[in-house]
Structure 1
Amino acid sequence: MEVHVCTLTLNVTNSLNIYNNMTQSDARIRSSMERLSSGLKLNRAPDNAAGKAISEMMKAQIRGLETVKRNIKDGLSLLDTAESGMGLIIDPNLARMRELTLQAATGTLTADDRRMIQKELDAIKSSIDDIANNTEFNTKKVLSPPTEFTPGESQSTAIDIVFFIDDSGTMAEEISLVNAGISSFAENLSQYGNVNIGTVSVNMSKPGTYSSLNHDSKQVTSYIETHHQSRGGSINVYDQLVDFAPTGEKAKDLGYRSNSKKIFVILTDTYDEASSRATRDTVTQTLASNNIQSYLFGVDFYGGDPSAENQFQADDAYSFVNQIYKPQTAADVAENISPGLTDAIVKDAELIEKALEPIDLLIGPNAGQLLRVDLYDCRSDAIGLNEIQVEDHASAMKTLEQIDQARELMSRRRTIYGAYTNRLEHALRYSENYHLNLTMSESRIGDADIPKEAMSLSQNQVLLQSAQAMLSQSMKQSEAVLTLLK
């Protein structure tokens, strides 16, 4: 009897082992069928917890890249729209204006002839404004501000900026850097259309060295390079600030506009300062009464390594200014002037509210991967065609100069847009390549290996059937033992 009971126990144990194997085979079959039906290796986190997290992160990146590619294509379309509008302004409109102006400059025409030419010029100006005002992408104006102005209203804030430049002997190391910064500054502010820039030398050995306020950034740059070179002599900043203020005795030499915001920028190392009749209080009162926003660049690398840290220490003498800049190294001088000072003036003078807001294009699947596209006001007044007259030879020559400057400005802007387009096309190719490689990587992690899963399914089906057969045999053995017990 003990032998039979022991045999029965062994049969039960054997049946349990067979049942466990059958259950495992069944689970593997279900897993293989799930993978084969979904095409995914990772259907649940238990399949591979770390792999599932990596796969989900990659999927988010892949979907983000698909959106990014659409963003880039929309950006390219916007640039194409804006650039084509600029092209129409340049040719035929500005080209025809130049042709008419050259015709008006000759002495064979009568006054009536010039009046007819003037009418066509005015009509072309209106055509330029129509192009700028009506060029839109997705209802967003790309060549003119969205704000509507009433006729006769100033279409952008008038800004008059005067640089007071210390071009004395101790500035020999820094003057070229200062000049380069001012040149870049003038070029960057030219896009706002209503900014005039003038310069005044505070070197007493160079009396009369100043340039009248001018919107042409090239003329400003040319004057700086020609006249503001380092030469020995003492400086007098206070008196120059007072004399060249709008209420000063030399104000007429600069040509301030009555409705403009006034900004003074002082660039000095404060060496060789001469006594002045004006006191700090006088300067403070003059700036306040004229509502002048003022900035100071304290530059002091003289007598040592020009790459050394700035040793400027004359803060108290210029406590009346709104902001003091101290470039840490000589290489930082130009950068502090532009974009540093440029950005401050745009913000403080609220130019950004009158100019077109730039567009930030998201060109990557993560935060911060942006390309900023500047938009430009291309209406006739904004590109320097506010007063074009051809009533005589002199006015026709002045108008011709304005037209040439406008053509050059528009050509530079088209060049910038061409660079933007190339940048977006590179970003698109990169996104497509990144999308392909990331999709392949995610596929290796998350997609099922169909041949392998098919083989595993067949194998486990055979094992399941074998286990079922063995379980049946095991149960028959147990039944035989029970028969003996009857």
Structure 2
Amino acid sequence: MKINYNVSALVANNALKTTDNKLTESLERLSSGLKIANAKDNPSGLAMSRRMNSQIKSLDTADDSNADGISIVETADGVLAEIQDMLQRMNELTIKACNDTNTDDDRAIIDEEIQQLKSEVQRVCDTTEFNGQKLLDGSFDLKGYATIREPGTGKYVTDPYITVSTYSDEIPAGMATITDFTCEFEEDPITGTRNIVPTIVDGQMTSPKGVLTDSKGNVYDNIAVDGDIIKFYNSRGQEVQIKVDETIPATTPITIGLELTATGAMAVQIGANEGQYLDIRIPTMSLSNIGIYNTNTKTIEDSRAAIEQIKNGLAYVSTARSRLGAYQNRLEHTNKSLDVTIENMTAAYSRIMDVDMAEEMTTYSTQTVLDQAGISMLAQANERPSEVLQLLQ
């Protein structure tokens, strides 16, 4: 027996330290509920879980963004539904004004309501907002810029009386040109109505005139006129609309450059990574775009023309609403997809990070018994050197 070095106590002490460390770790897991409380517990698992947790939080934010997109679409669609109701009321009034039992004075009274409805349509288009951003004034429609080529220098300069109104999604981005363009414009000084006056000779429209060629070389040689809006379109229904408020004489045709950016739609972030967004295009709404800027029922001729104008206006608004409805359906499916992804990723994250409380309690109980036993054994080991005194008696 030796008294200088109590090896038995050292062995018992080391075993007790190990047990105590394991007991401390078990207490930490039980109190925090985490399987990986520190990086040393599972370095690779911690790195994986942190990356996964970042993605889960990003998806939560994208889910909120997606919900905001649905709210925006619902706001715009609700306003367009009200515009449709006003157009339908105007349609009823124009049909009533077409009846020859009405006098021009009667039509003037009917026209007062129509003008009030037009003013309300324009007001709604100008003032509808979501989070301080206007929705229907073209802020989230595809952007385009018009310039004209100067005859002397060949440079393209801005003309405030010629602007891009709208164009189809399928039109390629880039510089489009309208060559040999002419038109005749008139504005009524009393009513303020603005019109491009078409000229038809032998069944063929000779004014306005021009051919539009897009950046890919596609030609749009069909022309239609609606107020001061000139539409260039092809056989596939693709069109570019420009607004012209000046006369371009047939003796001096011009070339118009159209920079079609194919950008401007509202980008709604629907995913956790870069580039995962949905462009929501909200068509421009105004009296000119709807096609009712000049609508009135002051005469029987005006009343008959108004029926077709309002019919086209209803079709324009219906097309815009169908587009918004498609966006909303897509966003709702995206919302469900995000919810399922978040649910499954959270379950995977929980398997890595969360402790099994039942299993950990078993470990804790084992380490508690070992700790108590270790303390008892260390106490007995410390008593062993004193037994040497019995040999000296």
CA distance change for structure 1 residues 157 and 25 in 2, over 3 Å: closer, same or farther? farther
Mapped to 2, the partners of 1:51 and 1:119 lie a distance apart of: 74
* CA offsets 1:257-304 (integer angstroms, 9 cap, x no match): 46499xxxxxxxxxxxxxxxxxxxxxxxx99xx4532xxxxxxxxxxx
Mapped to 2, the partners of 1:210 and 1:398 lie a distance apart of: 25
Note if 1:141 corresponds to 2:134: yes
Deviation for aligned residue 1:37:
0.4
Q: For 1:399-478, list aligned pairs within 5 A.
A: 399-478=306-385
Mapped to 2, the partners of 1:467 and 1:183 lie a distance apart of: 78
Richer in helix (by share): 1
Give SS of 1:367's match: coil
Deviation for aligned residue 1:58:
1.5
Mapped to 1, the partners of 2:168 and 2:71 lie a distance apart of: 35
CA distance change for structure 1 residues 116 and 133 in 2, over 3 Å: closer, same or farther? same
Aligned residues: CA RMSD: 3.9
Which residue, 250, 256, 266 being the options, matches 1:292? 256
Which residue, 41, 44, 52 being the options, matches 2:38? 44
Deviation for aligned residue 1:481:
2.8
Mapped to 2, the partners of 1:156 and 1:407 lie a distance apart of: 27
CA distance change for structure 1 residues 212 and 67 in 2, over 3 Å: closer, same or farther? closer
Deviation for aligned residue 1:77:
1.4
Deviation for aligned residue 1:80:
1.0
Number of equivalent positions: 329
Identity of aligned residues (%): 29
Q: For 1:57-456, list aligned pairs within 5 A.
A: 57-91=51-85, 93-145=86-138, 157-159=162-164, 185=171, 211-214=222-225, 224=235, 257=244, 259=246, 290=254, 292-293=256-257, 345-347=259-261, 357-456=264-363
* CA offsets 1:52-101 (integer angstroms, 9 cap, x no match): 1111112112222222222222221111111000000001x100111111
Contact 1:198 1:210 in 2 (8 A): no
Q: Partner amino acid for 1:371?
A: L
TM-score, length of structure 1 as denominator length: 0.60
Deviation for aligned residue 1:143:
1.8
Richer in strand (by share): 2
Contact 2:115 2:296 in 1 (8 A): no
* CA offsets 1:11-51 (integer angstroms, 9 cap, x no match): 72332222111111100100010010011111110010010
Contact 2:36 2:46 in 1 (8 A): yes
Mapped to 2, the partners of 1:122 and 1:377 lie a distance apart of: 20
Mapped to 2, the partners of 1:201 and 1:158 lie a distance apart of: 15
Unmatched segments (≥5 aa) in structure 1: 148-153, 162-180, 187-193, 203-208, 227-254, 262-285, 294-343
In structure 2, the residue matched to 1:280 is none
* CA offsets 1:147-179 (integer angstroms, 9 cap, x no match): 9xxxxxx99953499xxxxxxxxxxxxxxxxxx
Give SS of 1:345's match: strand
CA distance change for structure 1 residues 292 and 145 in 2, over 3 Å: closer, same or farther? closer
Deviation for aligned residue 1:386:
1.3
TM-score, length of structure 2 as denominator length: 0.73
CA distance change for structure 1 residues 52 and 201 in 2, over 3 Å: closer, same or farther? closer
Q: Partner amino acid for 1:361?
A: V
CA distance change for structure 1 residues 441 and 224 in 2, over 3 Å: closer, same or farther? closer
CA distance change for structure 1 residues 198 and 90 in 2, over 3 Å: closer, same or farther? farther
Mapped to 1, the partners of 2:321 and 2:27 lie a distance apart of: 59
Contact 2:297 2:306 in 1 (8 A): yes
